[in-house]
């Protein structure tokens, strides 16, 4: 009973230790306790076996005594019958028979007691067998837990290898990010002069457009359209020819190649260096998003895409967009400058033609009016 209780208590302790996640430190203690219990069980079993053997010998002895007593009783009965038939000594023989019957009854009682002791010993032996069965079950559970511990260790090693691979890939992506940042800075330095020149052209175009508006308003106010229109057409034809012969070849030779070169350099750098990095980074992020968020803290994930790099990327995109818009506006500004020059030339030509008769007849009233008319225009130019 003590062994069975000890084994049960040991099983409960083992289950509790397993539930608490303390398998490793108690495996050795459990094995030692199991070996101690096995040795105790073997000692008690040998003790019980010796007692069972002794009781069996006592039972055999009682059985032999019972048989001898029965034989004696039968012989006594025979003698009693003989004595009853022959001689008057039956009273003593009857007393002897009664005594023998009492001894037989005592032998039967001792036999019953021995059988009860034997049954109790057999019950104890059954409990010992149950305890040995429980020990075997505990051994099986112990081997299962050892296998689980081995599988957990292998899974932990695999996870450690996966984490190391992920850290290596993160370091590689950080190096490629730094290289891309350097390339972006270089591209920004190459593109910034073009953007600045286009911004200057845009501001010049705005100023020229303002001048054109003021000159055109003054011309419309001071000069009739029916007189100025032929001169405007003539001046436009002349300036168109001059632009086609002189300005356009210069623009095609110097300005447009610079713009095309800058655009081709930016496009080539973007196609060769930025676009593959962006594609690879997008694939990496799409593939490793869940792993990153599950195994890495937020600071380490933010380190992949620092704010400075993001700002530079957006700044480069904004510069490219501004360069494109400035190129379009520069073309529009050149056309506006062309029209402004045409109108200014027409106005100058009209003023020269009106001044010619005034120089011929200086005493006429029309000459005074012609001299006084341009003065407001000069004031307008000064104001402009």
Cα–Cα dist 80/67, whole Å: 19
Residues ≥6 apart with Cβ < 8 Å to 100: 69, 72, 73, 76
Cα separation values, 219 from 208, 228, 342, Å: 16, 9, 13
Give the residue among 352, 351, 371 at the shortest CA–CA distance from 361: 371
The predicted model scores a pTM of 0.24
- How many Cβ atoms sit within 10 Å of the Cβ of residue 39? 10
Instruction: Give Cα 64 distance to the centre of its chain.
Output: 87
Query: Alpha-carbon distance 80 to 98, whole Å?
Result: 12
Q: What share of the chain is helix, strand, coil (3-state, %, to 5)?
A: 95, 0, 5
What's the whole-number average pLDDT of the chain? 68
**Token pair belonging to 168:** 């290596």
Burial class (CB in 10 A: 0-12, 13-18, 19+), 194: buried
Mean pLDDT confidence for 237-245: 72
> Looking at residues 274-296, what average pLDDT do you find?
62
Alpha-carbon distances of 210 from 216, 263, 337, 342, 363, rounded to whole Å: 10, 30, 11, 15, 38
The lowest-confidence range among 225-239, 244-258, 319-333 is 319-333
Handedness of CA 106, 109, 114, 115 (dihedral sign): positive
**Which of 160-169, 269-278, 369-378 is predicted with the least confidence, judged by mean pLDDT?**
369-378
Give the closest residue to 309 by CA, choosing from 337, 277, 340.
277
pLDDT digits (tens, 9 = 90+) for 26-77: 667 777 878 888 888 888 888 878 888 888 888 888 888 888 888 887 887 7
How far is Cα 223 from Cα 354, in angstroms, rounded to an integer? 11
Sign, Cα dihedral of 376, 381, 382, 384: positive
DSSP element (H, E) containing 363: none
- At residue 344, the pLDDT reads 56
CA 39 to chain centre: 54
> Alpha-carbon distance 75 to 81, whole Å?
10
The helix (run of H) or strand (run of E) holding residue 254 is none
Among 175-189, 203-217, 256-270, 311-325, where is mean pLDDT lowest?
A: 311-325
């Amino acid at each position: 009973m003590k062994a069975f209780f000890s084994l049960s208590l040991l099983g409960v302790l083992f289950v509790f230790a397993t539930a608490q996640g303390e398998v490793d430190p108690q495996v050795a203690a459990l094995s030692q306790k199991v070996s101690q219990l096995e040795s105790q069980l073997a000692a008690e079993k040998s003790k019980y076996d010796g007692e069972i053997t002794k009781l069996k010998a006592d039972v055999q002895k009682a059985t032999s005594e019972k048989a001898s007593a029965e034989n004696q009783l039968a012989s006594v009965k025979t003698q009693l019958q003989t004595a009853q038939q022959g001689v008057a000594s039956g009273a003593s023989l009857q007393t002897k028979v009664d005594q023998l019957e009492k001894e037989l009854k005592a032998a039967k009682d001792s036999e019953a007691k021995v059988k009860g002791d034997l049954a109790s010993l057999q019950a104890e032996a059954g409990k010992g067998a149950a305890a040995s069965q429980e020990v075997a079950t505990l051994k099986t559970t112990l081997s299962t837990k050892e296998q689980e511990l081995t599988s957990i260790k292998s899974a932990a090693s695999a996870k450690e290898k996966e984490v190391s691979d992920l850290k290596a890939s993160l370091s590689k992506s950080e190096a490629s990010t730094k290289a891309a940042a350097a390339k972006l800075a270089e591209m920004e330095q190459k593109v910034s002069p073009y953007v600045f020149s286009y911004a200057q052209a845009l501001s010049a175009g705005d100023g020229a457009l303002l001048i054109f508006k003021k000159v055109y308003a003054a011309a419309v106010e001071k000069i009739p359209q029916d007189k100025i229109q032929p001169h405007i057409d003539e001046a436009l034809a002349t300036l168109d020819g001059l632009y086609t012969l002189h300005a356009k070849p210069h623009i095609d030779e110097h300005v447009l190649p610079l713009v095309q070169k800058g655009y081709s350099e930016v496009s080539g750098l973007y196609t060769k260096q930025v676009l593959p990095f962006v594609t690879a980074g997008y694939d990496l992020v799409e593939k490793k998003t869940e792993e990153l968020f599950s195994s890495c803290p937020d600071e380490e994930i933010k380190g992949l895409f620092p704010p400075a790099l993001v700002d530079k990327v957006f700044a480069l995109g904004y510069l490219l967009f501004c360069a494109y818009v400035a190129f379009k506006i520069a073309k529009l500004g050149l056309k506006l400058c062309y029209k402004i020059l045409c109108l200014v030339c027409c106005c100058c030509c009209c003023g020269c033609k009106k001044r010619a008769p005034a120089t011929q007849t200086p005493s006429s009233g029309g000459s005074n009016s012609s001299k006084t008319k341009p003065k407001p225009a000069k004031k307008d130019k000064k104001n402009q």
